[in-house]
Structure 1
Amino acid sequence: MNNRKSFYDVSSFYNKKAILKCSFKGMRYQVQGVSKEDDEKVLQADVWPEPFCYEKTPLDFHTVKEFEYSEDGLDKVYGWICEQYEARKDEWDFALKNPLDKAKQMGLM
């Protein structure tokens, strides 16, 4: 898995409304700061299978979780994404090795 440093830090990256978009061996993921209705900020992590970007992948194939907007929360984001990779290796591996079949499963072909 990509290392924790590749997630940057809250104050210099996510405070600027930047979105981290990455992939790792068939799993795509993104992390961003999101403002809730009560103006509370959270870190939102999202994982989905290859081969398509966030916008082109149907929402049914996304797994999203929110975390505290802090460095500790970002550590938990990293841990959760690592857990998602480990728990779903077969899914990511299939998506990586069979992108056309995965696209058909998603209803995009």
Structure 2
Amino acid sequence: MIERKDLFTIPFYKKTHFSGSYQGMHYRIERIEQDEKNILRATVFPGPYCFDVVSDEKKTAKDFDFSEDGIANACKWLNEQYAAAPDEWAKGRL
């Protein structure tokens, strides 16, 4: 299970993105500027490959508030994504 403490705080995301994985499910969390507003985007995709080489068709993303609550909600969403298809994600494990 991905825990909130595994993810960074807002100052980190102001500067760069974070990539991680859990049981074959890879994910990326990043700040996106949309309509002159910062949002937090979480994206999940199958392993074992990195974000840049996985096709967009295999990625699922959701946007959240750019806040500590947004990070907590993204963490919850990541765990929901894993729980929805653990056997599929397991195919991406090395």
Q: TM-score, normalised by structure 1?
A: 0.81
Per-residue deviation, 1:86: 0.7
Please say if 1:87 is aligned against 2:81.
no
Bigger strand fraction: 2
Structure 1 residue aligned with 2:50, among 53, 60, 66?
53
CA-atom RMSD in angstroms:
1.1
Distance, in Å, in 2 between the alignment partners of 1:80 and 1:67 is 10
Per-residue deviation, 1:24: 1.0
Structure 2 residue aligned with 1:40, among 37, 40, 44?
37
Q: Alignment length, in residue pairs?
A: 94
Gaps of 5+ in 1: 98-109
Matches within 5 A, 1:1-109: 1-10=1-10, 12-16=11-15, 18-36=16-34, 38-96=35-93
Per-residue deviation, 1:2: 3.0
Runs of 4+ with deviation above 6 angstroms:
none
Gaps of 5+ in 2: none
Structure with higher RCO (Cα < 8 A, 6+ apart) = 2
Q: TM-score, normalised by structure 2?
A: 0.93
Distance, in Å, in 2 between the alignment partners of 1:72 and 1:95 is 29
Per-residue deviation, 1:93: 1.2
